[in-house]
Amino acid sequence: MGEKTVIQKTRDEKKSTLVLGVGNPILTDDGIGIKIAQKLKEEKPYLEVIETSEAAIAVLDLIVIAGCDKLIIVDSIKTEQGKLGELYKFELEDLKPAKDFSTSHGVDIATVFELGQKAGYSVPRDISIYAVEIKDNTTFGEECTDKIREKIPAIARQIIEKERL
């Protein structure tokens, strides 16, 4: 057999936990997933952290290339009744794959993983999805609003505790 490819080498050297911080870093609170991922890395330097503004299928590529047994996704969410800074936790099983491609990201995360499994990709066994309630995801700015920025350390601690990192 020939020499292993970069992807094969990466799969052989799987990281145990990957934190995927998702968001748009130039739309104020929409970047909260990235900011929390950075804080988690600061608190727990052994964690593998990827920051991305990618969505849908591109996220699957990042996860497969990184290789991990446990995946923690951190993103923002904007609901009607949510409390600013509230942390929601979802398991992949909580989310149903879409029957169509009608999200703003093209494909929702549950559909991404379902497609990945059907295509034979090695996806993590343990997936936790965290979403932080935000208010402003339309104003241009590289920093989160004050009320959200103040909550980043506490939210990171909540994730560390819940995930036993």
pLDDT digit string, tens, across residues 11-63: 444 458 999 999 999 999 999 999 999 999 999 999 999 999 987 677 777 77
Least confident among 43-52, 60-69, 146-155: 60-69
Contact criterion met (CB below 8 Å) for 159 and 87: yes
Which secondary structure element, helix H or strand E, spans residue 52, and what is its range? strand 48-52
Q: What percent of the chain has pLDDT over 90?
A: 58
Q: What CA–CA distance (Å, rounded) separates 35 from 33?
A: 6
Take residue 69 and report the two structure tokens written for it: 């047994």
> Which class for 12: exposed (0-12), middle (13-18), buried (19 or more C-beta within 10 A)?
exposed
State which fold the 6-163 domain adopts: Rossmann fold (3.40.50)
The per-residue pLDDT for 105 is 52
- Asked if pLDDT for residue 137 goes beyond 90, the answer is yes
pLDDT of residue 64: 77
